[in-house]
Structure 1
Amino acid sequence: MFKLAHNGNVLLDVHENSPPSAAFIIEALEKSPFCECRVDHDAINNFFKSDSNERMLVVASKHDASLVVTLSDDKMLATGELTVAEGGKVMTLDEAKKELIKAGVARGYKQAFLEQLLQQQFELPAGEIAKGVLAKGRLPIDGQPSKFVPQVETLKDRLKKPKLREDGTADMRDFGKLASVEPGVLLIKQIPATPGKEGFTVTGDVLPAKPGENSTLVAGEGTEISKNNPLELISVIAGVPVDIANGMRVDDIFTIADVNVKSGHVDFEGSVIVTHNVEPGMRIHAKGDITVMGTVESGYLSAVGDITIKQGVIGHQQEDKKLSCNIISQGDIHLSHGQYCYLEANNILIERQASHCVMKATKLLQVGQEDNPQGKLFGGEVLDAQMLIAGEIGNESGAKMVINLAASGADVTAQTDQCLKELAQTDSQLDTLQEAIEKADQVKDAEKKKLLLAKIGATQMHYCEQAEMLEKKLSSLEHHLHDLLEDAQLVVNKKLHSGVEIHIFEKVLLTNRQYPPCKVKLEENKVEVEFKTT
């Protein structure tokens, strides 16, 4: 009844067979060997609607399976749309691979993907479309920065592990034997930075990876880089290892029970450990760290390293409004609680509470435990900090308290103004020298002219270098101020009371009510309060 033409069309001799209806032809096709071919419904319906004299009617057509490969806009994914054959040939694996190559796929191809898609030719009805991933690109993996792995326990590590009593409670004054080393002990091993792993698109373009930052191992006092291995730091003296940025130092340790009138003031080149208390009026100065297991009352402590006070810091306000207790560190300050004391450090970390203290932190001022600061801060003044985090700030009475964030921005602005002034003076000098060059060009004596131009040229070079240096400094100052203001924020985890005057650089916000958990930042040159969502 049906015949297959060379071009793949299925023909019906309508004069010979005289089909009564379109439904009859379609039913006959379904029972014929051409049942999977694509039925031409339009041609069949038109035959019965019009008076056609053609003998042969195209009722269906044979179609081979086809594959269309599409690449994503970022060339990280190649997907395929496979149209199942309609009476024609199924697509072979080799034919499908050629379509991938034609589409530009060069990397990230997996044969299993393609085989899985082609398998659906035998599971789906004729003419159905199957879709699947054929190739995947790979994003670059950035390299890891170099790591410094301590091989010994430092003083700070030891202070985190108080000795347990027989009843299981912790003795906060007894931390056992100090961590100490002898000369020649391995302190740190450095793991070099990794280069990262490059990525690629499915078309074969390479996506370079960012190599990890390779920091230099730093040998502090009492240590040296191993002569046998530049990635190892060893001790050269006996003492206590102390962490520094990208390295360690080894300090001599001076240990004393109490600092009082009997002991006298302490001034030591290394680190100082006070196993009990620092009594009123006493001073400690150390080139290393200072650690006090007990309390400091109306004392003066200054250290090049960190200052850790396991208990409280207590002072009082003197007649001249100055505070009787001063703790100043070029590193960090760690303490349990403080009242009526002056604290100054890079980072100030207070475990429980700070009341009526004057504090100045270069970076972070935190009141509360590290993982979830819930401590109280009230009274006194924060002279400077880049970030302040506490549970509660101010008190119910609404007593005034002043907090200054990014106060160091004023110094940066002053330096910027001075830099601009110097740059204007330098530009003025260069203008004057240019005029001098033009006048020198008019000198008729060749030798005199040469000497004059050489002298002016040397001076001009000096001012050009000075101008370049000032422009670099100006750019650095502008970036520093931007980062300072961008990062400046106050974070309150419980309550921010009324009466708190918050300064961020040159802008001020005075709280006139109680706020729930919130963040205070500088947004569009205005101090804004952003409430935390739970």
Structure 2
Amino acid sequence: MEPYRIRDFFRLTTSENKLAASVDALSPPEDASWSTEEWMAFLEEEGITYGILNNNIERLSSDPLSVVYPLEVARGTESVNGAAAYIEPGNFEESDEPEDTDEVDLKKVIQIAMVEAGAYTGRKIDAEPGESGTGVDGRVLQGRDGNDFVLRAGKNTRLEGNDIYAVQAGQVSVGKKTIHVNPLYEVKGDIDLKTGNIDFTGNIMIRGNVPSGFELKAEGDIRVLGTVEAAVLEASGSIFINAGVNARNKGRINAGQNVHATYLNEADVSAGADIVVKQTIMHSRCTTGGTLICNQGRGQVVGGVISAVQEINVNEAGNTMNTPTSFYIGATRDYVERRKHLEQTLYEAKEESLKVTDLLKTIQTKEENGSSLSSKERVMKLRARNTLEAAKDKARHAAEELEELAYVSPNPESGIIKAAKTLHSNVDVHFGKYRRIINKSYDRVVVYLEEGEITLNVT
């Protein structure tokens, strides 16, 4: 009788990322027994050469029938991506603002950092190299180097190596890749008809409120000590709103960097970096290229649509009334909807091309058989050719834009959602093309995507 072969009774599976290998049993006979050397030979035949878990191999060789399967038999070393380069601002003496004990946290970020000519304003911290790992098959898993950028002098600044200095007095505005020192346009009260709309090449400071219908545009930062209503605020830098936003689903707030506010109510807010809200986000549309944070004070997000590339970090998502609330992580809602639209456009264009091609073939066959075309058929042929060219152009443009989207596509698997207190029912969670509607409440939960499945980890 031939000896039992391991491969006849066990199956080896390797994780997609090559960081783990496991053995699963396929009803081995009760008298089956294999030595440690035979198990090692089996793993080598299956291409598993690194990170062998010797203790588990000994369990398999001593008593394979008592093992709980699947059993991990090898574990690789994960690669580590390097940290990205970033701008580290200096420590500035801040100007005095009126004390407000209710909003002391936000007050700290709305204070103005003023510098004199020649002052140190910050520096670039270089990117870190990635560290390679090793898969269970022995192959090197390359770690990505951190994203880097070329440091250039900002407005009214100069460089000394990685250090940034002001060349004239002004207000500091920290960007993603440099620091600017901007002149300041200041309004010592509310925006009104006397001040009108403001479009300024530096920073804007409003020491009062911004009523509905007004527009503020700044190449630097915008700071508002009061409330913003249904107005338009656009800044190449950051926007700081000491009170909050009551927009009634009108106006918009758009910052190239960060947006800070105490609360958002029926607001349309977008930020290239982060959105930080102290108290509540109610029925608003928020889109950020970084992280959305609403975990100070009450820290509740109810209704509306929240989109963030990296992380959504809140105390409470949704409410006990199960108000529909949508979270998009990794890929924003605009990205997902645009991709769906392009895919549908590409499909429809291809279908139209096939139908028109069939029509042209029918007409061409008639001509090849020696039959003359009627005037109606000649017009139909011309229209069909034009339609075919238009459909091909539409398909080509859609395919090109889909390719561009794929090139700059965020990675939905890297994003997470944190609810420090409660994740309520009827919160609609999207990780790129994956979707899950939460059907019951969870306390202290982290939501992430793992192997194509939206997973909840209750902490």
- TM-score bin (small chain): 0.5 to 0.7
Q: Which amino acid in 2 is paired with 1:324?
A: K
What per-residue deviation string (whole Å, max 9, x for no partner) do you get for residues 205-245 of structure 1? Answer: xxxxx9999864331111122xxx43443323332122123
Instruction: Tell whether 2:444 aligns with 1:517.
Output: yes
Q: 1:378 aligns with which of 277, 302, 306?
A: 302
Question: Residue 234 of structure 1: SS of its match in structure 2?
Answer: strand
What per-residue deviation string (whole Å, max 9, x for no partner) do you get for residues 306-325 of structure 1? Answer: 11101111122xxxxxx124
What per-residue deviation string (whole Å, max 9, x for no partner) do you get for residues 342-392 of structure 1? Answer: 1111221111111111222222122123xxx86100022225554212111
Superposed displacement of residue 410, structure 1: 5.7
Give the Cα–Cα distance (whole angstroms) in 2 for the partners of residues 366 and 397 of structure 1. 23
Instruction: Quote the residue 2:427 is aligned against.
Output: 500
Give the Cα–Cα distance (whole angstroms) in 2 for the partners of residues 409 and 169 of structure 1. 36
Give the Cα–Cα distance (whole angstroms) in 2 for the partners of residues 169 and 366 of structure 1. 16
Instruction: Tell whether 2:309 aligns with 1:397.
Output: no
Q: 1:330, 1:345 within 8 Å by CA — same for their partners in 2?
A: yes
Change in Cα spacing, 1:194 to 1:266, as seen in structure 2 (3 Å) is closer
Question: Residue 217 of structure 1: SS of its match in structure 2?
Answer: coil
Instruction: Quote the residue 1:308 is aligned against.
Output: 240
Instruction: Tell whether 2:187 aligns with 1:187.
Output: no
Instruction: Quote the residue 1:244 is aligned against.
Output: 175
Instruction: Quote the residue 2:255 is aligned against.
Output: 329
Q: What RMSD, in angstroms, separates the aligned Cα atoms of the two structures?
A: 4.5
Question: Residue 184 of structure 1: SS of its match in structure 2?
Answer: coil
Instruction: Quote the residue 2:293 is aligned against.
Output: 366
Superposed displacement of residue 521, structure 1: 2.3
What per-residue deviation string (whole Å, max 9, x for no partner) do you get for residues 10-29 of structure 1? Answer: xxxxxxxxxxxxxxxxxxxx
Give the Cα–Cα distance (whole angstroms) in 2 for the partners of residues 333 and 295 of structure 1. 14
Q: 2:429, 2:437 within 8 Å by CA — same for their partners in 1?
A: yes
Q: 1:222 aligns with which of 145, 151, 156?
A: 156
Superposed displacement of residue 398, structure 1: 1.4
Q: 1:312, 1:337 within 8 Å by CA — same for their partners in 2?
A: yes
Change in Cα spacing, 1:348 to 1:150, as seen in structure 2 (3 Å) is closer
Q: Which amino acid in 1 is paired with 2:266?
A: Y
Give the Cα–Cα distance (whole angstroms) in 1 for the partners of residues 455 and 289 of structure 2. 23
Instruction: Quote the residue 1:268 is aligned against.
Output: 200
What per-residue deviation string (whole Å, max 9, x for no partner) do you get for residues 451-506 of structure 1? Answer: xxxxxxxxxxxxxxxxxxxxxx999965754x512123322111111222222222
Give the Cα–Cα distance (whole angstroms) in 2 for the partners of residues 513 and 164 of structure 1. 42
Instruction: Quote the residue 1:18 is aligned against.
Output: none
Change in Cα spacing, 1:383 to 1:485, as seen in structure 2 (3 Å) is closer
Give the Cα–Cα distance (whole angstroms) in 1 for the partners of residues 110 and 275 of structure 2. 26
Q: Which amino acid in 1 is paired with 2:294?
A: V
Q: Which amino acid in 2 is paired with 1:304?
A: S
Change in Cα spacing, 1:328 to 1:181, as seen in structure 2 (3 Å) is same
Change in Cα spacing, 1:397 to 1:273, as seen in structure 2 (3 Å) is same
| TM-score normalised according to structure 1 size | 0.50
Change in Cα spacing, 1:360 to 1:236, as seen in structure 2 (3 Å) is same
The alignment-based identity, stated in percent, is: 25
| TM-score normalised according to structure 2 size | 0.57
Q: 2:220, 2:235 within 8 Å by CA — same for their partners in 1?
A: yes
Superposed displacement of residue 411, structure 1: 4.9
What per-residue deviation string (whole Å, max 9, x for no partner) do you get for residues 427-454 of structure 1? Answer: xxxxxxxxxxxxxxxxxxxxxxxxxxxx
Give the number of the structure whose alpha-carbon radius of gyration is greater: 1
- Higher RCO (CA 8 Å, separation ≥ 6 residues): 2
Give the Cα–Cα distance (whole angstroms) in 2 for the partners of residues 231 and 336 of structure 1. 34
Change in Cα spacing, 1:315 to 1:175, as seen in structure 2 (3 Å) is closer
Instruction: Quote the residue 1:259 is aligned against.
Output: 191
Q: Which amino acid in 1 is paired with 2:322?
A: G
Q: Which amino acid in 1 is paired with 2:170?
A: G
Give the Cα–Cα distance (whole angstroms) in 2 for the partners of residues 212 and 170 of structure 1. 35
Give 1:46-445 correspondences, 5 Å limit. 150-151=89-90, 153=92, 158=94, 178-188=112-122, 216-225=150-159, 229-257=160-188, 258-316=190-248, 323-346=249-272, 347-369=274-296, 375-382=299-306, 385-405=309-329, 406=331, 407=333, 408=335, 411=338
- Which consecutive residues of structure 2, in runs of 5 or more, have no partner in the other structure? 1-49, 51-80, 131-143, 350-400
